[in-house]
Amino acid sequence: MRDDEIIDGPLARAARALVRVSAKDVAFKAQIDKTELKSFEKGREDLTEQQESRLFEALEGYGARFVRDDDTGGYGVRLKFNRAKVRAIERWEDEGGLPGDDDV
- Reduced 3-state DSSP string for 28-97: HHHCCCHHHHHHHHCCCCCCCHHHHHHHHHHHHHCCEEEECCECCECCEEEECCCHHHHHHHHHHHCCCC
pLDDT at 31: 96
pLDDT at 74: 75
Whether the per-residue pLDDT at 98 is higher than 90: the answer is no
- For the stretch 12-67, pLDDT in tens is 999 999 999 999 999 999 999 999 999 999 999 999 999 999 999 999 999 999 88
Report the predicted TM-score, pTM, of the whole model to 2 decimal places. 0.73
Does domain 9-93 fall under CATH 1.10.260.40? My reply is: yes
Distance set, CA 19 to CA 3, 15, 69, 70, 76 (Å):
24, 6, 21, 24, 14
6 or 85, greater pLDDT: 6
Indicate the helix (H) or strand (E) that contains 10: helix 9-19
Whether the per-residue pLDDT at 102 is higher than 90: the answer is no
CB of 64 closer than 8 Å to CB of 26: no
pLDDT at 83: 60
Whether the per-residue pLDDT at 6 is higher than 70: the answer is yes
Whether the per-residue pLDDT at 90 is higher than 70: the answer is no
